[in-house]
Structure 1
Amino acid sequence: MRILFIHDNFPAQFGVLGMWLARQGWDVTFATNAEKAAAPGIRVLRYGPHRAPSKETHPYAQVMEKAAINAQGFARAALKAREAGYAPDIIVAHSGWGAGMFARDMFPEAAFVSYCEWWYSWPGADVLYLNEMNGEPPPESLESPMLERARNTPIAMDLTAADATLCPTRFQAAQFPPRLRPLLTVRHDGIDTEYHAPDTADRVSTLDGLVATDAPVVTYATRGMEPHRGFPAFMASLPAVLAADPRTVVVIAGENRVAYGGRSQRAVDWKEKALRENDIDPARVHFVGRLERPLYRRLLRRSNAHVYLTVPFVLSWSMLEAMSFACPLVLSDTEPVREFAGPEHATLVRMNDPATISAGILATLGEPTAAALRGRAAREVITADYSIAKLWPEKARLFADLVDARG
């Protein structure tokens, strides 16, 4: 079976699945805009835009122009591969940036799977939540609804061409218009539950001398430090947590950047703002940056209270990985979280209330036996329903069935 993945980034959602398929005997190619893409068993096909979008393009059409230029870059690379004899049986493309828009035209005999993460609307669930959280009225705009609707154009093109469409969670699928939801198959990317597993030896780790063996360790780990992931409220909760026990240490992994949100959010240095506004002892709150996977694993295995907060938006893999580690969890009581975890798995808190977050952290630290039981229950959810051992074979069968259906 010859499978072609298309994604601007690497390995992203498809890389590890591709390596697994290669080990099963599949012929795997990964088309990407990433310069340093490489993985065992995967052939890399590189594409890229030949120019930037024109500044003269109408604002409503700029997203589409950028997507079309990206799609043209893929089409040029695919044409060379096709002329060299390459012909995939199935194509799986991340929809949104446009690279897969012309994949069906390049390889008309292949089955085509669109991978969709989000349908844009105005105001979005995340924007409404942030406004409500900050006590602000719903945003009003004449132009924003049109700009957001236009962002869906590349996604809609992929949907109309697809033999099947994958969406990672029920919450994300619910953001699509009702007429489109029947086209979506909800399948998570999967968690490697063997790698992301608890280890009692790491429970007493000092993290290379960063913490004492008996220190209660509070952890926070997402891509960026931003309102979408509750960073300001988390930081505001820490003075009360640190004051309750002089041994407590906080370790924050991630980069000081905004991965999600509009221009107004990206203009703020949320880390600097939080440190300026909150009385936080720098000797007990450690920012360790973006961690390589083995260090990230050690950190979460050591955690006595792992905090994950999110507005109603795309759920981070990190939350499900923390569940797989059986971390004692403090989670935002928001819809994407509740799809996977309830009170029996975690302490749920209001992410707009730092006092509630600090109370949840302290309750988790103060009742380690109960917290550990909830952590084990959280891991059981992941091992039962979201393990790659279950989901990857299911996806392989789905892909093979689509190829068979096309004859």
Structure 2
Amino acid sequence: MRILFIHDNFPAQFGVLGVWLARQGWDVTFATSAEKAAAPGIRVLRYAPHRAPSPETHPYAQPMDKAAINGQGFARAALRAREAGYAPDIIVAHSGWGGGMFARDVFPKAAYVAYCEWWYRHPGADVAFLSRLTGEPVAGSVESPMLESARNAPIAMDLARADAVICPTRFQAEQFPDRLRALLTVQHDGIDTAYHAPDPADRRSTLDGLVAPDAPVVTYATRGMEPHRGFPQFMASLPAILARDPRLQVVIAGENRVAYGNQAKRAVDWKAKALADHDLDPARVRFVGRLDRPLYRRLLRRSDAHVYLTVPFVLSWSMLEAMSLACPLVLSDTAPVREFADASSARLVPFGDPAAIAEGVLETLAERPPAEARGARAREIITSTCSIATLWPEKARLFTELARAGG
């Protein structure tokens, strides 16, 4: 079976699945604009837009303009591959940025699967939530609804042409209009629950001397330090947490960056702001930056209370990985979290209440048997719903059935 993945980034949602398929004997190609893309068993097809979108394009049409130029970049690379004899049986493309927009035109005999993450609205669920939390009005103008709607044009084109549409979570699928939601198959990307498993040896780790063997360790780990992931609220909770036990250590993994939100949110250094607003001992609040996978796993295995917070938005893999690792969890009581966790598997706390977050962490640290029981339940949930051992064979069957039906 010849499969072609299309995604501007690499490995993104498809890379590790592609490696697994290659090991099963599939012929795997990954089309991407990422310059350093490489993985065992995967052929890489690089594409790039030949020019930037024109500033003269009507604002409502700019998302489509950008996607079309990106799609043209893929199409040119794909046509060269077709001329050299390449023809996939099935194409799986990330929808929204245009990479797969013309894939069916280049390879009309291939089945086509669109991977859709979000349907844009004004205000979106995330923006409306933050507005209610802060009391600040939603930024924008009378044209904002039109501008947001226009971002859906490339996604709608993919939905119209796809043989199947995958959306990773029910919450994300609920953002789509009813008539389009019926087209979606909700199926997560999958968590490697064998790799992300608890280990008693790592539970005793000092993290290379970063923490004492008997120190209670509170962890926080997301891609960036930003309002969408509750970083300001987490930092505001730390003075109360640190005051309870002088041995306690807080370890924060991730980059000082903003991945989500408008330009005003992206312009703020949230780490610097938090450190200026709160008197935190740098010997007890450690920023360890972006960790490679083994160090990240070791950190979460050592955690006595792992905090994950999010507004109603795309759920981070990191929360599900922490569940798989049986971490004692303190999670925001928000819709995407509740899809996977409840009171039996985590301590759920109000997103916008630092005092409640601190209380949840301190309770988790103080009441170890119940916290560990919740961690064990969290792992049960993820192994039964999101394990790659189940999901990846299901995806392979779906792709095979679609390809055969299309052929």
What TM-score do the two structures reach when normalised by structure 2? 0.99
Note the 1:169-248 alignment, pairs <5 A. 169-248=169-248
| Amino acid corresponding to residue 64 of structure 1 in structure 2 | M
Kept in 2, the 8 Å contact 1:198–1:301? The answer is yes
SS for the counterpart of 1:260 is: coil
Deviation at 1:385, TM superposition (A): 1.2
SS for the counterpart of 2:4 is: strand
Is 1:284 the counterpart of 2:284? The answer is yes
Q: Percent identity?
A: 78
- Which moves more between the two structures, 58-67 or 321-330? 58-67
Kept in 2, the 8 Å contact 1:132–1:138? The answer is no
| Backbone CA RMSD of aligned residues | 0.8
Whole-angstrom CA distance in 2 between matches of 1:262 and 1:54: 22
Is 1:109 the counterpart of 2:109? The answer is yes
Note the 1:116-195 alignment, pairs <5 A. 116-137=116-137, 141-195=141-195
Q: Deviations over 1:293-321 (max 9, x none)?
A: 01000000000000000000000000000
SS for the counterpart of 2:376 is: helix
Is 1:22 the counterpart of 2:26? The answer is no
| Amino acid corresponding to residue 300 of structure 2 in structure 1 | L
Deviation at 1:139, TM superposition (A): 5.3
Q: Which residue of 2 aligns with 1:95?
A: 95
Q: Which residue of 1 aligns with 2:403?
A: 403
Q: Deviations over 1:36-56 (max 9, x none)?
A: 000001000000011111122
Whole-angstrom CA distance in 2 between matches of 1:343 and 1:99: 41
| Amino acid corresponding to residue 210 of structure 1 in structure 2 | L
Whole-angstrom CA distance in 2 between matches of 1:270 and 1:385: 34
Whole-angstrom CA distance in 1 between matches of 2:351 and 2:131: 13
What TM-score do the two structures reach when normalised by structure 1? 0.99
Q: Deviations over 1:335-390 (max 9, x none)?
A: 00000000000000001010000000000001111100000000000111110000
Q: Which residue of 1 aligns with 2:63?
A: 63
Q: Which residue of 1 aligns with 2:319?
A: 319
Whole-angstrom CA distance in 2 between matches of 1:48 and 1:142: 34
- Which moves more between the two structures, 55-64 or 240-249? 55-64
Deviation at 1:147, TM superposition (A): 0.6
Kept in 2, the 8 Å contact 1:3–1:90? The answer is yes
| Amino acid corresponding to residue 102 of structure 1 in structure 2 | F
Whole-angstrom CA distance in 2 between matches of 1:367 and 1:80: 62
Deviation at 1:61, TM superposition (A): 1.3
| Amino acid corresponding to residue 310 of structure 2 in structure 1 | T
Q: Which residue of 1 aligns with 2:79?
A: 79
Q: Which residue of 1 aligns with 2:31?
A: 31
Unaligned runs of 5+ in 2: none
Whole-angstrom CA distance in 2 between matches of 1:140 and 1:325: 41
- Which moves more between the two structures, 55-64 or 108-117? 55-64
| Amino acid corresponding to residue 286 of structure 1 in structure 2 | R
Q: Which residue of 1 aligns with 2:344?
A: 344
Q: Which residue of 2 aligns with 1:362?
A: 362
Q: Which residue of 2 aligns with 1:385?
A: 385
Whole-angstrom CA distance in 2 between matches of 1:368 and 1:332: 20
Deviation at 1:137, TM superposition (A): 4.3
| Amino acid corresponding to residue 373 of structure 2 in structure 1 | L
Unaligned runs of 5+ in 1: none
Whole-angstrom CA distance in 2 between matches of 1:260 and 1:368: 35
SS for the counterpart of 2:182 is: helix
Q: Which residue of 2 aligns with 1:47?
A: 47
